[in-house]
Structure 1
Amino acid sequence: MQIINCEQGSPEWHAARAGAITASMFKTARTRVNELDERQALYVAYVKAGMTEKEAATKAGYKAAPSAEAVKRALAGEKVGDWSDTAKNYAFRLAVERIAGAPLDEGFETWQMARGHELEPEARMEHEMATGLVVDRAGFVLTDDGLFGASADGLFGEDGGSEYKCFVAPDRLRAFHIDGDASEVMDQVQGCMWITGRKRWHLGLYCPALAPIGKQLWLREFARDDDYIESMVDDLLAFAGLVDSYEQTLRQKAA
């Protein structure tokens, strides 16, 4: 990996991220539409293996053969599923950044991003106080090929890292504090461990508004999940191919 020592939000940080598929966007990069669901995929596999439609339907858990258009296309050998428009727009942005060698938005920050960068030192301090750890800032970390990157908010010990979120939206706060659900950011958490080679990651949700009841920091540790990472990387490499195709198309048009 390549570690770029820079302040998050700085011009150097924005330049390092330009054209790289970043961990905070891994979930977006993996989003697809019109895919077969698990039972549909089983049904298609059984039919292609030689079962009758009735046998395949029963074995896949259906009362009758599914009639979805996606199933019909899959059985006909046609392509099923596609990247979401959000993923396509992100891929196109990255293609432009690769050509320009600079951020497409010239380093513009939303108020949410600016707030996160401002509160990050407080979140790190709360983390250190809660755990007794000494957390070092890491700047931006890239894979050796520069395709993927992560803004690791902190690194500690030989195998630990941390990410701090400063959400204010009630639905996001509730997911963590009430439901204990961190699935929204799990691609980023596992992605950071993949890129940095770390084995455990601390996720801290920092909300100063909850300081009066001593719950300003929601903190959990997650272990590296190599099966999760393997599946995620397969999707990300396919997405990287989409970025490449957009870049090639743009360069051909320019020529």
Structure 2
Amino acid sequence: MFDFTHLPTITLPNGALAFQGLEQGTHEWLQVRAGVATASRFKDVLTQPQSKADKDAGKPSKTSLTYAYELAGEILTGEPAEGFSTVHTRRGQELEPQLRADYEMLADTDVQQVGFVKRDRFGASPDGLVGSDGLVEFKTHLPKLLIPMLLDGEFPEEHKAQTQGQLWVTGRQWVDLCAYYPGLPLFKVRAYRDEEFIAVLEQRLAAFDALVSDTVARIQAYGQPVA
């Protein structure tokens, strides 16, 4: 199974472990995240079955089930699932150090980088811890997506599950979302903990974690693995 006891960590006030010096996207980072439901995928856990039939009540959605199988596979095989990289994710990784510096100057604060934060069987990879209560999350968006955000000025709903999940995992009180694209203004908006949303998220995550554990147990009882 995944051994990360050699990695330097700090314990956050809520008991979560924050891994320092762990670069996002590296093989070691993938190993630490393997088998752990992460905030970037909490929206998959929250999805509901499209069917409204009574027989589907309480069942996981296809999206949630697929994610559960992915995590179960990581636990059973001891290997992280294959990821993917796009030109947009690579651009984001390249520009993030400069954006972090710009944010620090704009907010007049220091950002403490952490590679991953683990709370029990859940985790998150915020782009930084801010002060004693905050987080920051950087996003690269194409102009066609960033321009409406700039005009609207509201916290984008599509990022709510991830950012509220980050607040739950880390125990922090607020998160600054910064979206950017070269040549356009920086979009910056703050969201505070939504305790009602987090309560629902906790409930769904508990059920999802039970689904992953049950899947692992059923496969382990199926027979011997292929050599």
Indicate the TM-score class for this superposition, using the shorter chain for normalisation. 0.7 to 0.9
Q: Whole-Å Cα distance in 1 between the matches of residues 124 and 198 of structure 2?
A: 14
- Residue 95 of structure 2 corresponds to 119
- Residue 14 of structure 1 corresponds to 30
Number of equivalent positions:
207
- Residue 2 of structure 1 corresponds to 17
* Between structures 1 and 2, the one with greater helix share: 1
CA RMSD of aligned residues (A): 1.9
Deviations 1:116-147 (A, max 9, x none): 2222212212211221111111110000x2x1
Deviation at 1:253, TM superposition (A): 1.8
Deviation at 1:84, TM superposition (A): 2.4
Mark the runs of 5 or more structure 1 residues left unpaired by the alignment.
Answer: 37-69
Secondary structure at the aligned position of 1:117 is classed as: helix
Q: Is 1:254 the equivalent of 2:227?
A: no
Deviation at 1:174, TM superposition (A): 4.1
- Residue 89 of structure 1 corresponds to 66
Structure 1 stretch 196-205 or stretch 128-137: which is displaced more? Answer: 128-137
Q: Name the amino acid aligned to 1:89.
A: T
Query: How do 1:101-120 and structure 2 match up within 5 A?
Result: 101-105=78-82, 108-120=84-96
Deviations 1:28-56 (A, max 9, x none): 111111466xxxxxxxxxxxxxxxxxxxx
159, 172, 176: which one aligns with 2:149: 176
- Residue 48 of structure 1 corresponds to none
Q: Contact (CA 8 Å) 2:155, 2:191: kept in 1 or not? A: no
TM-score, length basis structure 2: 0.84
Q: Name the amino acid aligned to 2:40.
A: S
Q: Identical aligned pairs, as a percentage?
A: 37
Secondary structure at the aligned position of 2:222 is classed as: helix
Rg comparison, structure with higher value: 1
Q: Name the amino acid aligned to 1:235.
A: R
Deviations 1:3-46 (A, max 9, x none): 1120111122111111110000000111111466xxxxxxxxxx
Structure 1 stretch 88-97 or stretch 118-127: which is displaced more? Answer: 118-127
Mark the CA change 1:181 to 1:224 in structure 2 (over 3 Å): closer, same or farther.
closer
Q: Name the amino acid aligned to 1:121.
A: P
